[in-house]
Structure 1
């Protein structure tokens, strides 16, 4: 049996990144469509003001300022797409900011499948929080870990994100309590029905392949807990 070459392993990791980007694309698109909708409404109101018998200059000025602000937001949103390129040099990210961004991107889709995301108090933003380099790589890694738990777990689960020491994150899936108050047992990968929003599920192999390609150490415990360091190995 032939072993996968380094190039093949890189292609596997690239495929995982593509799947992750596809999953968060609706949220990214929503963030950019919002300013466009506001701009269209502003243009309509401005047109009515201009076509009216008496032009209200103050109202026109306000509409122009609104449109200008939304254009700025739209430009910022388009530029932010560069942040997904691994080759882009960035200023890094804090652990809390990384968690907040990834949770915001995945929460809508996860909620549709009955999975909640909870951020532990240990991940609240604080002054003097260190910044970790390679924000794009860390973003892909965290999204992959969360997607792994989402795809492998049973419905109605709760994924908790917590700080681990000063340089790591721990992701843990637990089941919601049933009618008798007892928590359902976590269903490891393969035991649960395929729950990916699309046909390509993120499994342990996909998670490990991405971590290896990005240069980070990730561990998956028997109970499904995922832990990874923010520092590249």
Structure 2
């Protein structure tokens, strides 16, 4: 029996949930970091206010730090909207998309000896036009990176490059200088919910993007079909 369109949408939603669950530790760390700074700043400010005489300049400096960290925390909370697949979602530049996704996955990948390498063609450009539907693109690229990670074993390198204005290419190969594996690398147990080629294709189809997979890696189209 063939799956219905509704069933395929549920499958794609499951893939998005799996992708989000993998980056939640990094998102949680980014949210907690300003809170830790705020707690320390409040403790210091309390001590400064209890001192005799009160150092007004030092207190103002601490208040400025608190204001800065509250602004950072507010920005990161608002950034959670980026994970909503809304028709009016904000666009994102290709270089920024790659940077965000690499930063979210690098800690977990490094732990298992998987390096993420971004080609010079994807370095930040000031005049780069944003691509539409940044939320969908974020799920798509993260899903592709997770697919390459799940499809191999042992130390390896995933390289992200570009040859066309509105696409990215992802290649996987051995990690240089790590024939025996990097120090501290752990070979992960097989995932019960591994993202395979079928899951990635289902995600791309549901989001409305093109993905082409081969033995060397894959190509992601970053404009809706």
Give the TM-score taking structure 2 as reference length.
0.92
**Residues 55-111 of structure 1: CA distance to partner in whole angstroms, max 9, x if unpaired?**
111111111111111111111111100110001623311111110000000000000
8 Å contact kept, 2:158–2:170: yes
Task: Please give the secondary structure, in 1, of the residue aligned with 2:162.
Answer: strand
Matches of 2:206 and 2:125, distance apart in 1: 31
Matches of 1:167 and 1:195, distance apart in 2: 35
User: What residue number does 2:105 align with?
Assistant: 106
Q: 207, 212, 232: which one pairs with 2:224?
A: 232
User: What residue number does 1:26 align with?
Assistant: 25
Task: Please give the secondary structure, in 2, of the residue aligned with 1:164.
Answer: coil
Q: Which runs of 5+ in 2 are unaligned?
A: 180-186
Matches within 5 A, 1:110-189: 110-177=109-176
Matches of 1:36 and 1:194, distance apart in 2: 31
8 Å contact kept, 1:170–1:227: yes
User: What residue number does 2:202 align with?
Assistant: 209
User: What residue number does 2:84 align with?
Assistant: 85
Q: CA RMSD in A?
A: 1.7
**Are residues 39 and 127 of structure 1, via their aligned partners in 2, closer, same or farther at CA, if it must alter by over 3 Å?**
closer
Paired residues, what number? 218
Which protein, 1 or 2, shows the higher relative CO under an 8 Å CA cutoff with sep ≥ 6?
2
User: What residue number does 2:182 align with?
Assistant: none
Give the TM-score taking structure 1 as reference length.
0.89
8 Å contact kept, 1:102–1:143: yes
**Are residues 146 and 179 of structure 1, via their aligned partners in 2, closer, same or farther at CA, if it must alter by over 3 Å?**
closer
